[in-house]
Amino acid sequence: MEKQFNLLSIVGGFLIAYFLVHIKMNEYYGGIFWGSWHGVFAPYNWILHWFDSGRIIKATTYNSWYNFTWWCGIISSIAASVGVIIDSISSFFND
């Protein structure tokens, strides 16, 4: 069950990033919500950017709160992803 949850969380992150996190070029994004929303899904958008060059990872025009919360979001997302990967590897070898 644990392996399915890890896989579902990764697939779910890509689905949310693909369908709900569309950062528009040259549009101003300001505030805490947009920064954290874009930051949490930045690693997923970065991988999706390999296949679609029109997908950007961070807004081009933003304010300082956006920048601060974007960094908080991306750090928490990477930390959670590393935790999921480590947990997946350890459960693979412990079975």
Which residue ranges make up each domain of the chain?
Answer: 2-94
**CA gap 45, 52 in Å, rounded:** 9
**3-state SS, residue 61:** strand
Digit-by-digit pLDDT tens for the chain (95 residues) are: 555 567 788 888 899 999 999 898 889 988 889 999 999 999 999 999 999 888 899 999 999 999 999 999 999 989 988 887 787 777 777 76
**CA gap 18, 32 in Å, rounded:** 21
